[in-house]
A and B are shown apart, each in its own frame.
Chain A
Amino acid sequence: MSTVLVVAPIVIANWPMITAAVTAAIATSGFTAIQHEASNIASQMTSKTRETIEVDDSEVLTDTFGTEEAIVVERDGITATFKRDSKGALQICMEGDRVSKTQLRAIGEDLLGRVTQQYAYHRIVSELKNRGLTIVDEEMTETESVKIRVRNW
């Protein structure tokens, strides 16, 4: 028999892990990281469309209390700010000119998916290494999935 498990990811990570996942995700989606302060000033000066995505299945672990950290990425005038909300979950604030809330949400959810993909990928690879298992093949499929084959038996 073969067994197939389908798993919905839950992002439970500290800020460095989230930063690493966002950095890896934006490399393939055309976004670039920008300075947090610069984006704050820009958003205060203009009236942009805003949409917030709450990531319910997530928990941002804090290493140091009282720190308010954020990662801001930008593509074609649209910014996405990743931060921890008041409940400790991950939140993405999307902002942009001449775009609807629906468009912002779609872009944000696509970006969130890629971040979650990177998070899950790194958790898996790290666990496999800890168990001394060997990745014998790794590929990116046409549907942008990452496929890993593991063998150690």
Chain B
Amino acid sequence: MAQEEIEIEVDKHGRVTIKTIGIKGKRCLEVAEALAEIIGKEEQRTMTSEFYENEVHVQNRIEIRNQR
């Protein structure tokens, strides 16, 4: 199951980037918006395709046989 996280980066000029990851519900985004509100003014918002949703599970099976 995908983890839901917020990743926050504060650069050396104080500019803040808040990225929500693995969101299924609204709560994570609400927290991000609340943080943006207390820090300053939102300059940009972009929606990206979700990393976890594109995750592909690959199962490899390796058989090692002794050749005699």
Q: Do A and B come from one complex?
A: yes
- List residues of A whose CB falls within 8 A of some B CB: 1-10, 57, 110, 113-117, 119-121, 123-124, 127-128, 131, 133, 136, 141, 143-151, 153
Say whether B39 contacts A120, CB under 8 Å.
yes
Given contacts A6-B43, A119-B14, whether A124 and B35 have CB atoms under 8 Å apart is yes
Task: Give which listed residue, A5, A127, A136, contacts B45 with CB less than 8 A.
Answer: A5
Q: 9 extra interchain contacts, Cβ-Cβ under 8 A, other than A4-B17, A117-B12, A124-B35?
A: A3-B19, A5-B19, A6-B45, A9-B15, A10-B41, A117-B14, A131-B31, A147-B8, A150-B8
The answer to whether A116 and B42 touch across the interface, beta carbons within 8 angstroms, is no
In whole Å, how far is B2's beta carbon from the nearest beta carbon of chain A? Answer: 10
Q: How far is the CA of A143 from the CA of B49 in the complex (A)?
A: 26
B18's nearest neighbour on chain A, judged by CB, is: A5
Q: Are A127 and B8 closer than 8 Å at their CB atoms?
A: no
Residues from 31 to 61 in B contacting A, C-beta threshold 8 Å = 31-36, 38-51
Asked if B63 CB lies within 8 Å of chain A CBs, one says no
Question: A1-B23, A2-B47, A3-B20 are known contacts. Are A9 and B31 too (CB-CB below 8 A)?
Answer: no
A11 to chain B, nearest CB (A): 8
A127 to B42, CA, bound (A): 17
Cβ-defined contact, B50 with A8, below 8 A? no
Q: Which residues of A contact B28 (CB under 8 A)?
A: 153
Cβ 8 A contact of A151, one of B4, B12, B46: B4
Residue contact A7 to B23, C-beta cutoff 8 Å: no
Q: Which residues of B contact A151 (CB under 8 A)?
A: 3-6
Contacts of A146 in B (CB 8 A): 9-10
In contact, B39 and A2 (Cβ under 8 angstroms): no
Set of chain A residues within 8 Å of B15, measured between Cβ atoms = 6-9
Q: Are B14 and A5 in contact (CB under 8 A)?
A: no
